[in-house]
């Protein structure tokens, strides 16, 4: 007879308690997964923003909050483009307007739900890059054509040739862009002048991309831009990463703290249930001892029972957690829940799932140490003395 058989029988014998304990672990795991998946995705989106403008200098307003070169707030005059382009070594300067939409159902939200990017039509490949494009690029100098991200297109049933209305202006959708960046999938790309007109940035921009000669020193050009134009920051790739690191670190540490609290709760829960279970089964453990079971055998029974509880609880928690993560993402982004269903399995990454299962199982196993020590110390003489 295997040890696992004894453990499974013990667990199934106390169905209600086992179910409640598994349910408790599942709830904790559920939130670990939900928090972890959201944090992971958030960090991933921020990190992947760095694929844009690699090897280029990004110029943004000095008073803006910058995430991987994309500014939140602030503007500077479009005329700055000419000042920058006169700097020695600068090959090309591309003006841009980037507007993050933070309103969800007319309420402000901390996570942007979509982004509008305005830049000269001929420079659109700078943003679209190697992403798949259904449809076509806009006609030269076209001012009423836009490309939209696939997620927005799916959400609103937009296809190539559709007409859309943005802040009272009508646009023709000439293309739909698909991944790999989450930013692109939630983007509306339009001409620079149109974006300035729609969002009220008359002759203002909030971003400029600076390309420079191969033999030019990136840091030197960035310093010169900042020296010449006091109201902007000129960020190299490395500086953009450095500026973003605290945001990523904050998100990760916030996620880890919540997960650590929930893991501790799982451990305490399984420890309490384990102690109760050992108290009730004192006679059984004493009998095992009398029959000649090693202390380690009794120890392993408890640890295995707790591990099974943790394993089953973590599996259930992952399923619930994924659904909750999708629900939260849907709530905060207005993207319909059913759009997440197709990609539900990829919301928590496979490696993260394995980590969570391993971690929750291990934590529940550790939670069994105190009950296991108690169980392995029970002797038949104490039980019989109490009986008679």
Partner 1 sequence: MKIKTVDLTRIYKMGSSEIVAVNKVSIEVNENQIVAIVGPTGSGKTTLLNLIGLNDYPTSGKIFIDSIDTTLLPASERRKIRLFHIGFIFQSFNLLPTLTALENVELPMALAGKPEEEQKKRASELLETVGLSDRAYHRPKELSTGEMQRVAIARALANNPKVIIADEPTGELDSKTAKEIISLLFNISKNERKTVIAATHDEKIVNFADVIYTIYDGKIKLKMKNL
Catalog residues that contact partner 1 under the rule CB under 8 A.
Answer: 1-2, 5-6, 9-10, 12-13, 283-284, 286-294, 297, 379-381, 384-385, 387-388
- Comparison of 119 and 288: residue with beta carbon closer to partner 1: 288
CB of 46 to partner 1, least distance (A): 51
- Comparison of 2 and 105: residue with beta carbon closer to partner 1: 2
CB of 376 to partner 1, least distance (A): 11
Which residue in 316, 295, 296 sits closest to 360, CA to CA? 316
Q: Are 184 and 128 in contact (CB under 8 A)?
A: yes
- Comparison of 152 and 303: residue with beta carbon closer to partner 1: 303
CB of 311 to partner 1, least distance (A): 19
Q: In the chain, which ranges are E strands? A: 57-61, 65-67, 70-72, 76-77, 90-101, 103-104, 107-108, 114-118, 132-135, 145-149, 163-166, 169-178, 187-190, 204-205, 207-212, 232-235
DSSP 62-88: TTSEEETTEEES--EETTHHHHHHTST
Structure tokens belonging to residue 275: 């102690």
Overall residue count recorded for the chain in this entry: 388
Phi, psi dihedrals of residue 143, rounded to the nearest 5°: -110, -10
Q: Give the C-alpha separation, 352 to 102, whole Å.
A: 29
Burial of 54 (0-12, 13-18, 19+ CB in 10 A): exposed
Where do we find the tokens 């844009």?
Answer: 52
- Comparison of 167 and 385: residue with beta carbon closer to partner 1: 385
CB of 11 to partner 1, least distance (A): 9
CB of 5 to partner 1, least distance (A): 7
- Comparison of 5 and 130: residue with beta carbon closer to partner 1: 5
- Comparison of 18 and 29: residue with beta carbon closer to partner 1: 18
CB of 23 to partner 1, least distance (A): 21
- Comparison of 91 and 294: residue with beta carbon closer to partner 1: 294
CB of 14 to partner 1, least distance (A): 9
């Amino acid at each position: 007879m295997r040890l696992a058989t004894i453990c499974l029988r013990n667990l199934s014998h106390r169905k209600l308690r086992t179910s409640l304990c598994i349910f408790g672990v599942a709830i904790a795991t559920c939130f670990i997964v939900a928090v972890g998946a959201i944090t992971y995705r958030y960090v991933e989106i921020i990190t992947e923003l760095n694929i844009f403008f690699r090897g280029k200098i990004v110029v943004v307003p000095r008073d803006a909050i910058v995430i991987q070169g994309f500014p939140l707030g602030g503007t500077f005059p479009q005329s700055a483009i000419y000042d920058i382009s006169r700097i020695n070594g600068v090959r090309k300067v591309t003006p841009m307007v980037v507007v993050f939409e933070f309103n969800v159902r007319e309420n402000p939200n901390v996570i942007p739900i979509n982004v509008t990017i305005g830049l000269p039509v001929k420079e659109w490949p700078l943003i679209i890059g190697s992403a798949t494009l259904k449809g076509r690029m806009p006609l030269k100098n076209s001012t009423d054509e836009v490309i939209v991200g696939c997620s927005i297109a799916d959400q609103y049933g937009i296809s190539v040739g559709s007409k859309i209305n943005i802040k009272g202006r009508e646009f023709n959708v000439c293309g739909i862009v698909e991944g790999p960046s989450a930013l692109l999938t939630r983007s509306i790309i339009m001409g620079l002048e149109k974006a300035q007109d729609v969002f009220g940035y008359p002759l203002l921009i909030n971003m400029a991309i600076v390309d420079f000669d191969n033999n030019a020193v990136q840091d030197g050009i960035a310093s010169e831009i900042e020296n010449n134009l006091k109201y902007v920051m000129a960020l190299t790739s490395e500086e953009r990463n450095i500026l973003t690191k605290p945001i990523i670190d904050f998100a990760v540490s916030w996620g880890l703290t919540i997960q650590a609290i929930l893991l501790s709760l799982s451990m305490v829960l399984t420890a309490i249930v384990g102690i109760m279970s050992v108290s009730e089964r004192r006679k059984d453990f004493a009998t095992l001892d009398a029959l000649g079971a090693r202390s380690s055998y009794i120890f392993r029974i408890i640890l295995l029972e707790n591990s099974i509880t943790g394993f089953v609880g973590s599996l259930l928690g992952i399923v619930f957690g994924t659904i909750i993560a999708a629900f939260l993402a849907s709530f905060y982004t207005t993207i319909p829940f059913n759009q997440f269903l197709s990609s539900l399995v990829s919301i928590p990454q496979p490696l993260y799932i394995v980590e969570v299962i391993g971690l929750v199982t291990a934590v529940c196993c550790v939670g069994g140490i105190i009950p296991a020590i108690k169980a392995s110390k029970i002797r038949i003489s104490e039980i019989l003395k109490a009986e008679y």
